[in-house]
Amino acid sequence: MEKRLVRSGYLYVSLAAVLFAISGTSAKFLFNDGVTAYQLIQMRTTLAFTGLLIWICLRYPSLLRISLKDTPYFMGLGVFGIGSAQFFYLFAISKINVAAAILLHYTGPVLVALYAVFIQRQRLKVSSALAICGTLIGCFLVVGAYNLQLFSLNRVGITAGILAAVSFAVYSILSAYGMRKYTAWTVLLYAMLFAALMWNVLHPPLEAFLHKYSPVQWGWIGFIGIFGTIFPFGLYFEGIKRIQPTHASVTATLEPISAGIIAALFLGEVMAPLQITGGVIVILSIVTLQLRGSRP
């Protein structure tokens, strides 16, 4: 694997993490403004699928072609991966604070690593193991989880965060399988189709779009649907084509760091020394992966 492709893989996943961080903060704003997690997940998946479908039809219609025998795969990725991960993450954010939700969500890389070791029988390099431990410790510090009051929260929100981590691992693993045969955008399109169908069945079809929203709310809804979903998932999948799912999921832990920086810049929140230390640990862990663990 060429070093240039590997580096671009880490870059794509890093950009995806930043966009996910912005969309998570935007979602919290909408929840505080009265929008429910069920409404937002329906609008997010529907807008993302529609926007991606229009773009592919206009620019790359050949990407629409898939084999019918792969339909169960796309259904599984859309329902148990992308659709579930987005909902549980948003639901956790709506029930507990963003820091706790992010911490729980980013235990996903550990699940990906365990799958690689025990199911795929891959040897986990020392550098990879250290990077996984480092990112977990770093995330723990970044979100301020050393404050014991952080988890004095409702159990439903904590359970949703854990399920978000499981779903994160599912789509990290399944997406790598699909891209052996299809482009990242084809995989994303059909996975998002089933995610949108799921949330238009579990929640009354298109009901979320019938509410009255302010221009600002519509702006953030549109941002989450396009720049918080299509682009970051597409970038993440492109990254997985170039680096291992384990490395991609660890690199994605840049999201809590990005969220902390965004909060500091736009909300005036100050990061404590331990939080800054955690961010440095995560960055060093990812650099370790790139320098010593970039080969499959």
CA within 13 Å, CB half, 268: 0
**pLDDT digits 0-9 by tens, 94-105:** 887 666 677 777
Q: What is the reported pLDDT for 271?
A: 67
What is the tally of structural domains in the chain? 1
Q: What's the average model confidence in pLDDT over 246-274?
A: 74
| Dist CA 208 CA 190 (whole Å) | 22
Percent of the chain, pLDDT > 90?
44
Above 80 in pLDDT, residue 162? Answer: yes
pLDDT band at 149 (very low <50, low <70, confident <90, very high): low
| Dist CA 57 CA 187 (whole Å) | 15
Residues ≥6 apart with Cβ < 8 Å to 256: 21, 99, 102, 103, 106, 139, 142, 143, 282
Q: What is the pTM of this model?
A: 0.83
| Dist CA 20 CA 45 (whole Å) | 14
Q: What is the reported pLDDT for 47?
A: 97
Q: What's the average model confidence in pLDDT over 186-200?
A: 97
| Window from 23-37, 59-73, 194-208, 241-255 with minimum mean pLDDT | 241-255
| Dist CA 100 CA 92 (whole Å) | 9
| Dist CA 30 CA 158 (whole Å) | 20
**Which is more confident, 153 or 8?**
8
Q: What is the reported pLDDT for 115?
A: 85
pLDDT band at 208 (very low <50, low <70, confident <90, very high): very high
Residues ≥6 apart with Cβ < 8 Å to 18: 254, 255, 258
- Domain of 165 in residue numbering reads as 3-292
Q: What's the average model confidence in pLDDT over 47-57?
A: 97
Q: What is the reported pLDDT for 278?
A: 80
Above 60 in pLDDT, residue 60? Answer: yes
**pLDDT digits 0-9 by tens, 218-245:** 999 999 999 999 999 999 999 988 888 8
Side chain identity at residue 72, one-letter code: P
Q: What is the reported pLDDT for 250?
A: 77
Q: What is the reported pLDDT for 294?
A: 45
Q: What is the reported pLDDT for 139?
A: 75
pLDDT band at 289 (very low <50, low <70, confident <90, very high): low
pLDDT band at 296 (very low <50, low <70, confident <90, very high): very low
**Residues 199, 45 contacting (CB under 8 angstroms):** yes
| DSSP, residue by residue, 230-249 | IHHHHHHHHHHHHS-HHHHH
Phi-psi region of 268 (alpha: psi -120 to 50; beta: other; left: phi over 0): left
| Dist CA 222 CA 199 (whole Å) | 17
